[in-house]
C-alpha cells in the first residue's frame, strides 16, 4: 500500500465515483440551513437529507462528496482514543433511486482493492444476518466467507424508529498484531469488542424499507444508498501510524505548537505506559482538534457565545487553552496553530486563506477573554487540590466565576482521582440561575418564563404610524420579567396598542420616547414576548398599571431601517435575476446604518457583477413602483409566487401572513416595515462583499441620499489621503514614472456614485503602479544591503568556527538572504546575525549541512541558548533557526555565549 496524504485520498475517492457517473457535491457549510433538528452538520448525508426525503430534486441521482462535519457529544474522548475528533471529514457516495445493493458493493470492492490497492487479506466485512444478497455479492467478488461476519439488528440494521431504514454492510481494516496487545485476534471483530486493530473504514447503508412507527416494514418504492467513510481513518491506515493524530497532516501542526514548549509530543507513547507522556500527547491533540473545529466553524459563520452552537465553540476554545497551560505554553498559540492548520487544508478548502484574519481575530478575542480568569482559576484549582478540600463549591466557583466549562472541571478532577458531589453542584447552579438572570439572553429566557407564557393580554402593533396618543399600560415587568403593579426605575412595559416595532425577522427594533404623567421616558429596546406582545424596555421610569402614555418613535431611524428592509427584497431579486435564480436568503440584518444579506452562491462575485447588481437595484428604485401589503394564507401567498424562506415557521404561525408586493418586481412574505414606493429608498450602494464560509457570502449595503453621501465623503477623503501619502513617498525616494503621473492627472474627487466607482478603479490602478515602483526600489536597496552584509562578514577574522555580527535597522529577511548566499559559498563557518530594531532584537543562525555534520553543530540548539540569555523565544532545525526578544540586547554577552560554543 502506498503512503497517501489526505488530499491524495480525497482525489482518488472523488475521481473514482466521477468515473462511475456520480456528481461531485462541494462541501457545504457546517451550519445547517433551515434544519432545526441539527446543531451542526454531523455527517456526509446531513446536507443531502432533502434529496432523500423527496423535498428537493437532486442535481443527479448519483452523488459523491467529502463533507466537513462536527460532532460534540463525546468531546472528552478526544485525545483519549485513537480515533475521536470533534471536526472530521466524511467521504460518501450516494444513490437516490438509482443503483442499489449489488452495484454499491461492487464500487466499494473495486475502489478499495483496485484503486487504493488494499490487499483483500487486510479486509473484513459485516452484513445483516438476514441479508443473503449482500453475503452472496461479497463472496462472488472473492471475499472468503469466513471473513464475512453476520451481525444482528443492533450491529447491522439502521433504524431510527420511523421512516426509511435498512440493513448495512461495514468494511474493516486489519492493522495487525501490534494493535492487539492481548493477542485476541479475530475474536475482537467477530464478537464486536472495542479495539484498535480492526478499524471500521466504510459503512454502506441499504435504505430499502419503511418503518411505519410500529415496526411494520414495507419495501420502499425508491431505494437509496447512503455511505460514509472517515477520511482521517483512511489516512491513518495508509500512513501506518498508531492514531489519527500521528498522520503527517496533524503532526505538522503538532510540531509547530511544540516550538512553544519544552514538553514534546511522542508518537511512541501509544505503545508505552508512561502516563505523563500520554497526558502531554492528549493535550496536544485537544489543542489541534479543538482549534481546527473552531477554524472551520468560524469560517462558516459561527461565532463563540454563551448559547447554542456558540457555546460549543467557546467550550472547545477554553478546553484547548487549559491544555496549553498544562503544556506550559506561556504565549499565544492561536495564530501559529491556525496558520499551520490552513497550510495543510488550503488545497481542498482554499477559502480558509480568505477567512484567516477573521478566525484569528475571533479566537484571540476569546483567548484574551478567558486569560483574564484562567490564572486565577488555576490558582484556585491547585490550592483546593493541595489542601484536599475540593468540593462542589470549588467546582461551582470555577464554572460560574472563572468560566471553566463544567465538563472540563470534571475532566481535570478525574485526572487527579477526585470525585464531585454532582447533586450539590446542580443545586448551586439552580439557585444561581434563579437570582442572576441576564439580559443578554433575555429573549430565550422570555420564551421559557412561566409568567410570560401565561400572559395573554391583547396588544396590537400599528405598522403605519410613528406616534400614538393615550396608549394604555396593560402590563409592567421588572428587569427579570417578574410582573409588578408599578415601576420606579428600569423595566418592561406592555401597551394595549403600540407603534414601536419589536426586533424580529432581522430588523432591529424602534427606539424613542414615551410621555407619561408629563415625564418623558426613553425606550431603548423592544422585544416580542412568547405570545406576540411588544415589550418596551424603559429607563428611569415611574409608571403604574392603567396609566396612559403618548408614544413617539425615532422617525428618522425608522425611515432608514424601512428603506434598508425594502432594499433587502430588491437586492435578493437582483441576485436571482443576474446571478442565479436559485439563490436563497440565508440571513439578513437591517439597522439604520446598513443592511446585510447572506446568500449561498457557487462563486465569489466579481466587482463587475457587484456593479451590475448595484445598478439593477437602483433601477428598481428609480422605477417608481408602489409597494402594497396584503394579508394572505400560506397557500394564497404561494399562488402569488411570494418568496418565503422559512416555510416550517410560516406553517406554525397559521392564519394569514403579511405579504409585501413591490409591483412588477418582487413579492415576499415578510413581517417588517416597508416604504410606500420604491423611489422612497432614494439610493443604494454596496459597500462590502465577503465570504462567511461554506459557499455562503454576505453583502453589506447602505441606502438613502443622506447615508450614501456621508459614506462617499468619508471614503473619498480616505482615498485622497492614501494617494497623497503615495505621492509623498515617491517624491522622497526621487522616483518618477510617466504612467503614474498621467493617471494621477485624471483623478477626480466627486461625491457622486458613478464618479466614486471610477475613483476606486483609478486608485487601485495607481496603487498597483506604486507598489511595483516601490518593490523595484526596495529590491535595489536589498541587493545593496545583501552585498554590504556579506562584505562585513568576509572582512572579519575567519578563525572562529562561528561568525557573529550585528546590524541596526535591517530586516531579518534581507539578513537571511545574505546568510543563505554565504553558507552556499562557505562550508567552513556557521553564521549568526543580530538585527537591532527600535523596540526589539531579532536573531538568526544559519549553517551549511556539511558544516553541521562535520562540527556536530545545531542552529536550533544555539538559538535556544540565546533565548535564555535574551529572555526571548524562537527555535528551528540544525541548519536554520531564528528568534527574538523585546528591547535591544547586550551584544557582548551574546558574543561570549557564542564563543563558548
SS (H, E, C) 98-125: CCCHHHHHHHHHHHHHHHCCCCHHHEEE
Q: Given pLDDT bands bounded at 50, 70 and 90, which one contains residue 440?
A: very low
- Looking at residue 509, what is its pLDDT? 95
Per-residue pLDDT of 846-861, as tens digits, reads 999 999 999 999 999 9
Q: What is the pLDDT of residues 368-425, one digit of tens each?
A: 878 877 877 777 878 777 766 677 777 777 877 777 767 677 777 776 777 777 777 7
Distance between CA atoms of 145 and 234, rounded to whole angstroms? 24
Strands 512-516 and 548-553: antiparallel
Do 34 and 112 fall into the same domain?
A: yes
Same domain, 214 and 320: no
How would DSSP label each residue in 621-639? HHTT-BEEEEEE-HHHHHH
Q: Name the band, by pLDDT with cuts 50, 70 and 90, for residue 648.
A: very low
Q: Is 439 a residue whose pLDDT tops 50? A: no
Reply yes or no on whether the pLDDT at 645 is more than 60.
Answer: no
| 17 and 114 assigned to the same domain | yes
Residue 449: phi and psi, rounded to 5, are: -70, 120
Last residue of a domain, one of 363, 383, 403: 383
User: How do 23-25 and 62-70 pair as beta strands?
Assistant: parallel
Distance CA 172, CA 125 (A): 6
Distance from C-alpha of 779 to C-alpha of 771, rounded to nearest angstrom: 12
802 close to 898: Cβ distance less than 8 angstroms = yes
Domain with 579, as residue range(s), is: 558-703
* Eight-class DSSP state of 824: H
How far apart, in whole angstroms, are the C-alpha atoms of residue 283 and residue 323?
A: 5
CA distance 293 to 71: 10
Domain annotation covers residue 786: no
CATH number at residue 875: 3.10.310.40
Indicate the residue among 537, 553, 569 that finishes a domain: 553
pLDDT 10s digits, 457-472: 999 999 999 999 999 9
Residue 62 belongs to some domain of the structure: yes
Percent of the chain with pLDDT over 90: 66
Q: For residues 723 and 727, what is the distance between their CA atoms, to the nearest angstrom?
A: 6
Smallest CA-to-CA distance from 848 within 831, 834, 866 is with 831
What are the cell numbers at 842? 531579532
| 152: CATH | 3.30.930.10
Judge if 86 and 216 occupy the same domain: yes
Considering the domain boundaries, does residue 509 fall inside one? Answer: yes
Bind-site residues for Zn(2+) = 565, 569, 670, 674
> Are residues 84 and 222 both part of a single domain?
yes
* Sequence-distant contacts of 192-195: CB under 8 A, at least 24 apart: 192/151, 192/155
Report the distance separating Cα 342 and Cα 740, nearest Å. Answer: 37
Placement of cell 498484531 in the chain: 177
Q: Is residue 462 part of a domain?
A: yes
Q: pLDDT tens digit string along 199-208?
A: 999 999 999 9
Q: Which segments of 300-400 does DSSP mark as H helices, in order? A: 308-326, 334-345, 352-387, 392-400
pTM: 0.54
* Mean pLDDT along residues 270-277: 92
More confident residue, 818 or 215: 818
Given a cut of 90, whether residue 672 has pLDDT beyond it is yes
Q: Does residue 428 share a domain with residue 449?
A: no
Out of 217-226, 329-338, 714-723, pick the least confident: 217-226
Residue 743 lies in a domain: yes
Helices (H) and strands (E) in the chain, counts: 28, 29
pLDDT at 545 over 70: yes
pLDDT at 738: 95
44 pLDDT higher than 60: yes
Average pLDDT over the chain, rounded to whole? 89
Query: Is the domain of 821 the same as that of 881?
Result: yes
Evaluate whether residue 784 is within a structural domain.
no
In a domain, 789, yes or no: no
The residue among 522, 553, 584 that closes a domain is: 553
CA distances from 230 to 19, 67, 436 (A): 21, 10, 44
For residues 211 and 162, the answer to whether their CB atoms sit within 8 Å is yes
- The yes-or-no verdict on residue 435 having pLDDT over 60 is no
Cell matching residue 599: 446568500
The reply to whether 56 and 155 lie within a common domain is yes
Q: Are residues 426 and 538 in the same domain?
A: no
pLDDT value of position 646? 52
Taking the C-alpha atoms of residue 672 and residue 565, their distance in angstroms, rounded to an integer, is 7
In this structure, are residues 881 and 862 in contact, taking their beta carbons and an 8 Å threshold?
A: yes
Residue length of the chain = 901
pLDDT the model gives residue 694 = 47
Q: Is the pLDDT of residue 54 over 90?
A: no
Q: Average of pLDDT values for 175-202?
A: 95
Structural domain total, the chain: 7
Phi-psi region of 887 (alpha: psi -120 to 50; beta: other; left: phi over 0): left
Q: State how far the Cα of 589 lies from the Cα of 568, in Å rounded to an integer.
A: 9
Same domain flag for 316 and 352: yes
Least-confidence region, from 142-156, 399-413, 563-577, 796-810? 399-413
Spatial separation of the C-alpha atoms in residues 240 and 232, rounded to whole Å: 12
Do residues 527 and 535 touch, judged by C-beta distance below 8 A?
Answer: yes
User: Which of 81-85, 264-268, 600-604 has the weakest average pLDDT?
Assistant: 600-604
In a domain, 756, yes or no: yes
Assess whether 233 and 121 both reside in one domain: yes
Residue 73 sits in the same domain as residue 209: yes
Q: Is the pLDDT of residue 824 over 50?
A: yes
pLDDT for residue 649 is more than 90: no
Enumerate the H helices of 699-848 as residue ranges: 705-732, 738-744, 753-794, 812-825
Query: Which residues does the annotation place in the binding site?
Result: 565, 569, 670, 674
pLDDT at position 794, please? 94
695 or 514, higher pLDDT: 514
Of 38-52, 265-279, 575-589, 640-654, give the range with the top mean pLDDT. Answer: 265-279
Mean per-residue pLDDT, 119-132? 96
Q: pLDDT higher for 338 or 56?
A: 338
Tell me the H-state helices in 455-496: none
Amino acid at each position: 500500500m502506498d503512503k497517501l496524504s489526505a488530499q491524495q485520498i480525497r482525489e482518488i475517492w472523488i475521481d473514482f465515483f466521477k468515473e462511475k457517473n456520480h456528481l461531485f457535491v462541494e462541501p457545504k457549510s457546517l451550519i445547517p440551513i433551515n434544519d432545526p433538528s441539527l446543531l451542526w452538520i454531523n455527517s456526509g448525508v446531513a446536507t443531502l437529507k432533502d434529496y432523500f426525503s423527496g423535498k428537493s430534486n437532486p442535481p443527479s441521482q448519483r452523488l459523491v462528496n467529502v463533507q466537513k462535519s462536527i460532532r460534540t457529544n463525546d468531546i472528552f474522548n478526544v485525545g483519549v482514543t485513537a480515533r475521536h475528533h470533534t471536526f472530521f471529514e466524511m467521504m460518501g457516495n450516494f444513490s437516490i433511486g438509482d443503483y442499489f445493493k449489488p452495484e454499491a458493493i461492487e464500487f466499494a470492492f473495486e475502489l478499495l482493492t483496485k484503486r487504493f490497492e488494499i490487499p483483500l487479506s487486510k479486509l473484513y466485512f459485516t452484513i445483516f444476518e438476514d441479508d443473503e444478497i449482500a453475503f452472496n455479492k461479497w463472496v462472488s467478488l472473492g471475499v472468503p466467507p469466513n471473513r464475512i461476519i453476520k451481525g444482528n439488528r443492533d450491529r447491522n440494521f439502521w433504524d431510527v424508529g420511523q421512516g426509511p431504514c435498512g440493513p448495512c454492510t461495514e468494511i474493516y481494516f486489519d492493522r495487525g498484531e501490534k494493535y492487539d496487545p492481548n493477542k485476541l485476534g479475530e475474536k475482537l471483530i467477530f464478537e464486536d469488542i472495542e479495539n484498535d486493530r480492526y478499524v471500521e473504514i466504510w459503512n454502506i447503508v441499504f435504505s430499502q424499507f419503511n418503518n411505519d412507527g410500529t415496526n411494520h416494514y414495507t419495501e420502499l418504492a425508491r431505494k437509496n444508498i447512503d455511505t460514509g467513510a472517515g477520511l482521517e481513518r483512511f489516512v491513518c491506515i495508509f500512513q501506518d501510524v498508531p492514531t489519527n493524530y500521528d498522520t503527517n497532516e496533524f503532526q505538522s501542526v503538532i510540531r509547530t505548537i511544540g516550538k512553544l514548549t519544552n514538553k514534546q509530543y511522542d508518537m511512541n507513547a501509544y505503545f508505552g505506559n508512561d502516563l505523563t507522556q500520554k497526558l502531554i500527547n492528549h493535550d496536544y491533540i485537544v489543542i489541534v482538534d479543538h482549534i481546527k473545529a473552531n477554524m472551520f466553524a468560524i469560517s462558516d459563520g459561527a461565532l463563540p457565545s454563551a448559547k447554542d452552537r456558540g457555546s460549543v465553540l467557546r467550550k472547545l476554545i477554553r478546553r484547548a487553552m487549559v491544555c496549553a497551560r498544562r503544556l506550559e505554553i506561556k504565549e499565544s498559540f492561536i495564530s501559529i496553530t491556525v496558520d499551520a492548520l490552513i497550510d495543510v487544508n488550503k488545497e481542498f478548502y482554499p477559502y480558509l486563506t480568505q477567512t484567516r484574519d477573521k478566525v484569528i481575530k475571533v479566537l484571540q478575542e476569546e483567548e484574551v477573554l478567558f486569560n483574564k480568569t484562567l490564572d486565577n482559576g488555576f490558582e484556585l484549582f491547585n490550592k483546593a487540590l493541595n489542601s484536599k478540600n475540593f468540593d462542589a463549591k470549588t467546582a461551582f466557583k470555577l464554572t460560574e466565576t472563572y468560566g471553566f466549562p463544567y465538563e472540563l472541571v470534571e475532566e481535570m478532577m478525574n485526572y487527579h482521582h477526585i470525585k464531585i458531589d454532582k447533586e450539590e453542584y446542580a443545586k448551586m447552579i439552580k439557585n444561581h440561575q434563579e437570582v442572576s438572570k441576564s439580559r443578554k439572553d433575555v429573549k430565550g429566557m422570555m420564551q421559557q418564563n412561566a409568567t410570560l407564557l401565561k400572559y395573554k393580554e391583547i396588544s396590537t402593533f400599528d405598522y403605519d404610524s410613528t406616534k400614538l396618543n393615550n396608549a394604555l399600560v396593560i402590563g409592567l415587568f421588572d428587569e427579570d420579567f417578574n410582573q409588578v403593579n408599578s415601576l420606579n426605575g428600569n423595566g418592561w412595559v406592555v401597551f394595549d396598542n403600540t407603534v414601536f416595532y419589536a426586533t424580529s425577522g432581522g430588523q432591529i427594533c424602534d427606539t424613542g420616547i414615551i410621555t407619561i404623567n408629563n415625564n418623558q421616558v426613553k425606550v431603548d429596546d423592544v422585544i416580542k414576548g412568547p405570545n406576540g406582545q411588544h415589550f418596551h424596555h424603559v429607563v428611569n421610569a415611574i409608571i403604574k398599571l392603567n396609566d396612559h402614555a403618548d408614544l413617539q418613535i425615532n422617525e428618522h431611524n425608522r425611515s432608514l431601517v424601512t428603506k434598508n428592509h425594502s432594499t433587502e427584497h430588491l437586492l435578493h431579486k437582483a441576485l436571482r435575476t443576474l446571478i442565479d435564480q436559485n439563490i436563497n436568503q440565508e440571513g439578513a440584518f437591517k439597522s439604520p446604518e446598513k443592511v446585510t444579506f447572506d446568500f449561498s452562491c457557487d462563486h465569489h462575485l466579481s466587482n463587475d457583477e457587484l456593479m451590475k447588481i448595484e445598478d439593477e437595484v437602483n433601477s428598481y428604485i428609480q422605477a417608481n413602483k408602489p409597494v402594497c401589503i396584503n394579508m394572505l394564507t400560506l397557500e394564497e401567498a404561494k399562488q402569488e409566487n411570494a418568496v418565503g424562506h422559512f416555510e416550517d415557521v410560516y406553517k406554525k404561525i397559521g392564519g394569514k401572513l403579511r405579504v409585501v408586493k413591490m409591483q412588477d418586481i418582487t413579492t415576499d412574505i415578510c413581517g417588517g416595515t416597508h416604504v410606500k414606493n420604491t423611489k422612497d429608498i432614494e439610493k443604494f450602494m454596496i459597500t462590502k462583499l465577503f465570504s462567511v464560509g461554506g459557499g455562503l457570502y454576505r453583502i453589506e449595503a447602505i441606502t438613502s441620499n443622506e447615508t450614501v453621501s456621508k459614506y462617499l465623503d468619508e471614503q473619498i477623503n480616505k482615498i485622497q489621503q492614501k494617494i497623497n501619502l503615495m505621492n509623498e513617498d515617491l517624491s522622497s525616494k526621487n522616483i518618477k514614472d510617466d504612467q503614474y503621473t498621467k493617471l494621477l492627472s485624471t483623478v477626480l474627487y466627486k461625491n457622486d456614485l458613478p464618479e466614486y466607482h471610477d475613483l476606486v478603479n483609478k486608485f487601485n490602478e495607481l496603487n498597483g503602479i506604486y507598489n511595483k515602483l516601490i518593490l523595484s526600489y526596495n529590491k535595489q536597496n536589498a541587493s545593496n544591503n545583501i552585498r554590504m552584509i556579506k562584505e562585513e562578514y568576509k572582512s572579519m577574522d575567519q578563525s572562529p568556527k562561528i561568525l557573529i555580527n550585528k546590524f541596526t535597522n535591517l530586516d531579518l529577511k534581507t539578513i537571511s538572504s545574505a546568510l543563505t548566499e554565504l553558507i552556499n559559498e562557505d562550508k567552513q563557518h556557521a553564521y549568526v546575525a543580530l538585527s537591532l530594531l527600535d523596540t526589539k532584537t531579532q536573531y538568526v543562525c544559519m549553517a551549511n549541512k556539511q558544516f553541521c555534520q562535520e562540527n556536530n553543530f545545531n542552529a536550533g540548539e544555539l538559538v535556544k541558548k540565546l533565548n535564555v540569555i535574551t529572555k526571548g523565544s524562537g527555535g528551528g532545525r540544525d541548519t536554520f533557526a531564528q528568534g527574538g526578544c523585546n528591547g535591544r540586547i547586550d551584544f557582548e554577552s551574546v558574543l561570549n555565549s557564542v564563543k563558548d560554543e
